[in-house]
């Protein structure tokens, strides 16, 4: 005989309580957070001399916000402009924190990132670094910093290892190199890294001259003339986009045809502005920087949506890490189930994102807040598009070396 | 190495001639109106954007942009002066500074809104053309720009010296009260001056558009260079601006070659300090004091 009852028994009460609790735990934490969306403050150089990559990073950030909103994760994102001045990073971060930001993302420029990190440290608000390669960002003891970008020394080391392994022969066997570098913090840091790694790796190419120039230089004809006078087989420019264009244009005019141009950790040559400005002369230029993995499904989704949202613009390093900055925040928000900075900080420390667009292993942060799993492939412009030429496993095309002389380009 | 030295000095002279045209515009505005145009570099950038836009959207060769930039910037300068600038000529200097700095910021913002922060370059065959004289390769765009700049400076100097309007502008610059007394139309002459000054800057911009990629934030450097040249050459002196431009162009090139490319500005500023110490009014000062 079965007894049907609607009485509240102790066993039923416990079962109901447990199932309610389980439902609460199992339901996406983010849904509970949606009653008050997480305020995300994004610090970027949106005006001034480095606004060009800053705006590219903003595009990637905005794309990620839209794509995650489509998945039901709504963020309240505010942007603050550093005006390309490092000292403004702190001011911008402080303003965003005052306005209620639970997490800060930024700040593209290393100087502005360090400055913003000081504000975040004081307010105990996590800072997710999208782009910023100065080693000291994660070496100064900041506890709120989570950097999803490799330090310059690592980019240089990984890049030079791939360059050294390029097959020699068929007219490509450089014996001498000349380094041209911009003389700002970034350029000096990368230059120091190149010199150290060059010696450490015993690269059998002699550096015959190092030519530095001002970031604001409008004319690099003398610099290129000096480089040409060395007769170096390899030119290693450490540039941003404007100076990279100036260097190649001068090399064409002065008919300086080295065996290769390779920029270790040099942003610029993969930009659309570079290939648009130089056309056929942009081809064969190599650089090593973190890049997206075109074989992943998530990258294909991002690239497809990018083409719809920003037609005529190229998805590259800046937009890619802009996108991933938001991905890191969304992932932490989901796991934290809270918009409180302390909860987000705890969640960020336990980050482990296997599926993301930029090449490399899962996004995780070590004790210093550094993601050490970012890959640095070797890129070469071919057909006026940057393609991966090394490592072989990720290569989209074979290296084209030695580079075609300027006068013989169709 | 001789080939390298010749190339570097020739390059310096060519760049210097273009700098001189930029400085002439600043100089003529100061010489006649005693107004310091802090938005001068922005006028150069507008000229560069005119060159870029005509090449990109109308398919015109870079040279075609030069007369367009000249006329457009002359008209802009004339209208600006008639509508706004003339009201500030007799105001205290700090008020004038606010006007021109505000104008500079507005132009930079507008350029950023229209063209974005990306560098905009002209990828025409002319941007890569060279003349070969023996072992020396001379950048064709730079040579054309330098020759055009020299011709424009010479034409402007002759017009100011020999034409009736030019003489009237000189008179207004020397003695505004006397000018009014003899019936000179001062507001018109000032507007003409502003138009010519801005036309010089805009023309220089169009001339260098095939050489440099344009961004909205280039202006500050042009303004600063023009100031250095004007101070070295002498305020209100056209030949002084030319001499100053050539000196700066060559000294930058020599510093880059013999010292270090990073030391380009070092020699320019060193020259500036030397001139300020030895000839405070500039190498070829016109000898005009405050009005």
CB-count burial class (<10 Å; 0-12, 13-18, 19+) for A372: middle
Tokens standing for residue A62: 């905005």
Q: Considering only CB atoms, which chain B residues are within 8 Å of A212?
A: 260-262
Neighbouring residues of A115: CB distance < 8 A, sequence distance ≥ 6? A86, A87, A88, A89, A90, A93, A107
**Cα separation, A281 vs A295, whole angstroms:** 28
Over residues B190-234, the pLDDT tens digits come to 999 999 999 999 999 999 998 888 888 889 889 999 999 999 998
DSSP B257: I
Per the omega criterion (within 30 degrees of 0), is the bond before A391 cis? yes
Judged by CB atoms closer than 8 Å, whether chains meet at A218 and B221 is answered as yes
Instruction: Confirm or reject contact between B104 and chain A (CB < 8 A).
Output: no
Render each residue's pLDDT in chain A as its tens digit; 410 residues: 344 444 455 555 555 455 444 444 444 444 444 568 999 999 999 988 788 889 999 999 999 999 999 999 999 999 999 988 889 999 999 999 999 999 999 889 888 999 999 999 999 999 999 999 888 899 888 999 999 999 988 899 999 999 999 999 889 999 999 999 988 777 888 888 899 899 999 999 999 999 998 877 778 888 999 999 999 999 999 998 888 999 999 999 999 999 999 998 888 899 888 898 888 999 999 999 999 998 899 999 999 999 999 998 999 999 999 999 999 999 999 999 999 999 999 999 999 999 999 999 999 999 999 999 999 999 999 999 999 999 988 899 999 999 999 999 87
Class of domain B2-278: mainly alpha
DSSP A106: E
**Cα separation, A204 vs B236, whole angstroms:** 58
Q: Are residues A47 and B117 in contact, defined by beta-carbon separation less than 8 angstroms?
A: yes
Q: Considering only CB atoms, which chain A residues are within 8 Å of B139?
A: 221, 253
Instruction: Confirm or reject contact between A355 and chain B (CB < 8 A).
Output: no
| Predicted-complex ipTM score | 0.78
Domain ranges of chain B: 2-278
Domain pair A31-150+294-349 / A154-289+377-408, same fold: yes
Helices (H) and strands (E) in chain B, counts: 11, 2
- Residue of B259, B118, B50 whose CA lies nearest to A226: B259
Domain ranges of chain A: 31-150+294-349, 154-289+377-408
Over residues A5-18, the pLDDT tens digits come to 444 555 555 554 55
Instruction: Confirm or reject contact between B127 and chain A (CB < 8 A).
Output: yes
Say yes or no: domain A31-150+294-349 is CATH 2.40.160.50.
Answer: no
**Cα separation, B22 vs B149, whole angstroms:** 9
| Architecture of the domain spanning A154-289+377-408 | 3-Layer(aba) Sandwich (3.40)
Q: Considering only CB atoms, which chain A residues are within 8 Å of B213?
A: 242, 245-246, 273, 277
pTM of the entire predicted model: 0.79
Q: Considering only CB atoms, which chain A residues are within 8 Å of B211?
A: 219
């Amino acid at each position: 005989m079965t007894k049907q009852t609607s009485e509240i028994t102790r066993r039923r009460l416990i079962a109901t309580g447990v199932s309610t609790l389980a439902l609460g735990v199992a339901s996406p934490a983010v849904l509970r957070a949606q009653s008050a969306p997480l305020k995300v403050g994004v610090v970027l150089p949106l005006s001034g001399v480095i606004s060009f990559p800053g705006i590219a990073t903003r595009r990637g950030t905005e794309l990620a916000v839209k794509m995650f909103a489509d998945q039901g994760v709504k963020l309240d994102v505010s942007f603050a402009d550093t005006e390309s001045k490092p000292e403004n990073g702190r001011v911008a971060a402080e303003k965003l924190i005052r306005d209620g930001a639970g997490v800060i993302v930024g700040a593209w420029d290393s100087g502005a990132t360090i400055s913003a990190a000081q504000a975040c440290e004081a307010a105990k608000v996590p800072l997710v670094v999208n782009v910023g390669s100065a080693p000291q960002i994660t070496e100064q003891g900041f506890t709120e910093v989570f950097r999803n970008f490799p330090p310059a020394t690592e980019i240089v080391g990984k890049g030079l290892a791939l360059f050294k392994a390029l097959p020699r022969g068929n007219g490509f066997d450089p014996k001498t190199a000349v380094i041209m570098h911009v003389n700002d913090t970034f350029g000096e840091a990368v230059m120091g890294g190149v010199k150290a790694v060059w010696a450490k790796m015993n690269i059998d190419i002699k550096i015959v001259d190092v030519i530095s120039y001002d970031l604001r230089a409008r004319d690099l004809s003398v610099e290129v003339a000096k480089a040409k006078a060395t007769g170096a087989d390899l030119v290693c420019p450490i540039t941003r986009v404007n100076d990279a264009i100036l260097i190649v244009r001068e090399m064409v005019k002065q008919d300086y045809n080295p065996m290769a141009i390779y920029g270790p950790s040099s942003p610029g040559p993969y930009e659309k502005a570079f290939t648009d400005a130089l056309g056929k002369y942009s081809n064969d230029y190599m650089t090593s920087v973190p890049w997206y993995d075109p074989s992943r499904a998530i990258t294909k989704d991002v690239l497809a949506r990018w083409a719809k949202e920003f037609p005529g613009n190229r998805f590259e390093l800046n937009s890619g890490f802009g996108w991933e900055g938001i991905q890191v925040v969304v992932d932490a928000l989901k796991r934290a189930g809270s918009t409180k900075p302390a909860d987000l900080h705890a969640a960020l420390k336990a980050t482990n994102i296997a599926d993301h667009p930029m090449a490399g292993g899962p996004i995780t942060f070590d004790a210093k807040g550094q993601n050490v799993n970012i890959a640095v492939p070797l890129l070469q412009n071919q057909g006026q598009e940057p393609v991966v030429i090394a490592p072989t496993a990720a290569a989209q095309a074979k290296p084209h070396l030695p580079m075609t002389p300027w006068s013989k380009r169709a | 190495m001789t080939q390298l030295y010749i190339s570097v000095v020739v390059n310096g002279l060519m760049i210097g001639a273009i700098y001189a045209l930029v400085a002439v515009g600043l100089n003529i505005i100061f010489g006649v109106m005693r107004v310091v145009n802090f938005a001068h570099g922005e006028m150069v950038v507008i000229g560069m954007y005119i060159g870029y836009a005509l090449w990109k959207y109308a398919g015109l060769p870079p040279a075609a942009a030069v007369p367009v930039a000249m006329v457009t910037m002359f008209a802009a300068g004339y209208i600006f002066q008639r509508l706004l600038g003339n009201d500030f000529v007799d105001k205290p200097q700090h008020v004038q500074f606010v006007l021109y700095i505000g104008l500079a910021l507005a132009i930079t913002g507008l350029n950023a809104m229209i063209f974005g922060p990306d560098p905009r370059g002209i990828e025409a065959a002319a941007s890569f053309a060279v003349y070969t004289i023996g072992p020396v390769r001379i950048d064709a765009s730079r040579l054309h720009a330098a020759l055009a700049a020299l011709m424009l400076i010479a034409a402007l100097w002759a017009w100011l010296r020999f034409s009736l309007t030019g003489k009237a502008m000189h008179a207004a610059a020397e003695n505004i009260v006397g000018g009014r007394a003899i019936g000179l139309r001062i507001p018109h002459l000032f507007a003409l001056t502003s138009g010519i000054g801005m036309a010089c800057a805009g023309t220089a911009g169009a001339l260098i558009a095939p050489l440099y990629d344009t961004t909205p934030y280039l202006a500050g450097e042009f303004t600063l260079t023009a100031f250095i040249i004007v101070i070295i050459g002498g305020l209100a002196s056209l030949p002084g601006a030319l001499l100053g431009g050539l000196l700066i162009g060559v000294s930058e090139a020599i510093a880059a070659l013999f010292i270090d490319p990073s030391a380009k500005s070092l020699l320019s500023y060193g020259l500036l300090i030397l001139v300020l110490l030895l000839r405070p009014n500039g190498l070829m000062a016109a000898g005009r004091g405050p009005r």
